[in-house]
Structure 1
Amino acid sequence: MGENRTILGINKFEKSLILVICTILGAIIGWYLPVIADWVLKLPIIPMEQWVRFISSLDHFWVSVIAAAVGIIAGLIFSLVVFHESLTVTVSDHQLELVLGDEVKTFKREDIYAVYMENKNLVVLGQDSQELYREVLEAKLDTVRQAFYLHGYPWMDEDPFADHYQRWVEGHPDFPPPVNALMRARERALKEDKKTAKYLREELAELGVVIRDERNGQFARKGGMD
């Protein structure tokens, strides 16, 4: 008999809706491609002019048919990419499984100190208050809360260590040089490359530093608090 579990993430209805909308949009854009090409040719500056003129010169009906078919396929592919890059969370009585793309992470329930939502991010803290996981979860807050309550996880309505954060400044005396260097790099990355900022957050988490981003800067705390 299988273990009781709850799955969180994009549900079947939402997946169907995304699939339908993306394929319809792809088909519409493809069907009206000749009209779009004719309109673009009237602009004073034409991007990729040779290609636009080539499309406009072809038989509009068959261009529409072929482009609509290509648009449908593109919509399907885009939908599959969205599904693949969306977080799926499986909550059971004994463990928490998080799947994002090809990455799978698993945590035992007894190793988790707290679970909460911060904005749209699901945050998992370990027994030493360290951040084990943080990622955007497309699910309603009440649904997420009920799932974790149902399986006996230590759900929190907010960060239990919210009062322990300090605003980070260059050369912060409470953090060692390697941490300050990563924080400095992340400060730059927040303005230039969000993906790099995410990776730097994960590196800092491995060093026991938990980050909270505010409009006026980075706030940080050290793990291992009781």
Structure 2
Amino acid sequence: MAARGPGEAVVVSGGAGELVVMWAGFPLLGAGLGAGLTAMSGWVADLPWFPFQGWFALLDRWPAERSFPVGAAVVALAGLVLAFLGTRERLTVTVGRTSVRLHRDGHGRDVARAEVAGVFRDGKALVLLDAAGGELARERSDLGAERLRAAFTGQGWPWVDRDPYEAAYRRWVEGLPGLPAGADALLRARQRAVDADRGGEAVELRGELARLGVVVRDEGKRQYWRLVPGPPDRDGARR
């Protein structure tokens, strides 16, 4: 949803409907799936490639009045876990005239309008660029590009339809020249984090690369990088 908030800020989020889908729809879908799998438990238990065969064999031995409620409840619980994780990952974007607030999982950060030279969607990521071409923020979400564009342009922010530095990215291959000192090791560590789906570590290493003047983006499990004009200062931050 996009709505007017205090001070005429525009709030873009998934809205209450998204929460209803997650907290009601996921468990109900899980319960139905669990009941269906319970009905086929004997057949599933004989499939050598299917996980949890011991569990399905147990369900097959139980009487129906016991196996169906238990099978449905277990998968419904998995649906609740997915709903919890999905709620934590929801991004809320509050766009005002002088700043934008990016809020996720109980934590928020503010980016001042004066620091931002461009805003765009890169795949599923909302990206804010500074005047030198560095990334001030990169936040993944399912928020629609049109809703975000309307919110930002309505508040006078410089929305662009695509990444103005798209052509500058190069695929990272270990050991190739062109990176500043230390960046190759960070990208190597980040690749391990990406391959292992350690999202928090990958985000942290993205920040370390930014301090070296390197912007990184992902396409699947592949990393692409570009340099930001202007070297880091003595403290490691870009001028």
Task: Give the counterpart letter for 1:151 in structure 2.
Answer: Q
Measured after TM superposition, the shift of residue 82 of structure 1 is 0.6
Stretch deviating more after TM superposition (199-208 or 184-193):
184-193
TM-score with structure 1 setting the length:
0.80
Cα distance change on mapping 1:37 and 1:200 into 2, 3 Å: same
The correspondence of residues 67-106 of structure 1 with structure 2, limited to 5 A, is: 67-106=71-110
Partner of 1:220: 226
Judge conservation of contact 1:129–1:224 (CA < 8 Å) in 2.
no
1:210 is matched with: 215
Q: Which residue of 1 aligns with 2:186?
A: 182
State the secondary structure of the residue aligned to 2:68.
helix
SS at 1:183's partner residue? helix
Residue type matched to 1:52 in 2?
F
Q: How many residues align?
A: 226
Q: For residue 149 of structure 1, report the CA deviation from its aligned partner.
A: 0.6
Alignment-mate amino acid for residue 207 of structure 1: L
CA distance in 1, matches of 2:218, 2:54: 46
Residues 219 and 37 (structure 1), Cα distance of their counterparts in 2 relative to 1, 3 Å cut? same
TM-aligned CA distance change 1:220 to 1:23, over 3 Å: same
Secondary structure class of the residue paired with 2:182: helix
Residue of structure 1 in register with 2:234 after alignment: none
Report the alpha carbon displacement of residue 169 of structure 1 after superposing the two structures with TM.
Answer: 5.4
Residue in 2 aligned with 1:56? 60
- Distance (whole Å) between structure 1 residues aligned to residue 88 and residue 13 of structure 2: 11
Going from structure 1 to structure 2, the CA distance change for 1:217 and 1:69 (only over 3 Å counts) comes to: closer
C-alpha separation in 2, matches of 1:111 and 1:21 = 41
Unaligned runs of 5+ in 2: 232-238
- Whether contact under 8 Å (1:209, 1:223) holds in the other structure is no
Partner of 2:130: 126
Which residue of structure 2 aligns with residue 11 of structure 1? 15
CA contact (8 A) 2:126 2:141 kept: yes
1:218 to 1:61, Cα distance in 2 relative to 1, 3 A: same
Is there any run of 5+ residues in structure 1 with no aligned partner, and where? Answer: none
Could you list the per-position Cα deviations for residues 65-90 of structure 1 after superposition, in whole angstroms to 9, with x for gaps in the alignment?
A: 34434444442332132121122211
Counterpart amino acid of residue 21 in structure 2: L
> 2:49 & 2:151 partners in 1: Cα distance?
54
Q: 1:46 and 1:209, CA in 2 relative to 1: closer, same or farther beyond 3 A?
A: closer
* 2:38 is the counterpart of 1:34: yes
Give yes or no for contact 1:118–1:158 (8 Å, CA) kept in 2. Answer: yes
After superposition, what is the alpha-carbon deviation per residue over 1:14-57, rounded to whole angstroms, capped at 9, x for unaligned? 33334443122111123334323222234357755544333222
* Contact 1:9 1:138 (C-alpha < 8 Å) held by counterparts: no
Aligned identity (percent) is: 33
Match of 2:236 in 1: none
Greater shift, 88-97 or 170-179, is seen at 170-179
Matched, 1:112 2:116: yes
* Cα RMSD after superposing both structures: 3.2
Distance 2:64 2:32 in 1: 14
Moved more, 44-53 or 198-207: 44-53
Greater RCO between the two (CA within 8 Å, min separation 6)?
1
Greater alpha carbon shift after TM alignment, 65-74 vs 93-102: 65-74
User: 1:116, 1:159 within 8 Å by CA — same for their partners in 2?
Assistant: yes
CA distance in 2, matches of 1:16, 1:51: 30
Distance in 2, Cα, partners of 1:164 & 1:170: 18
Deviation at 1:190, TM superposition (A): 5.0
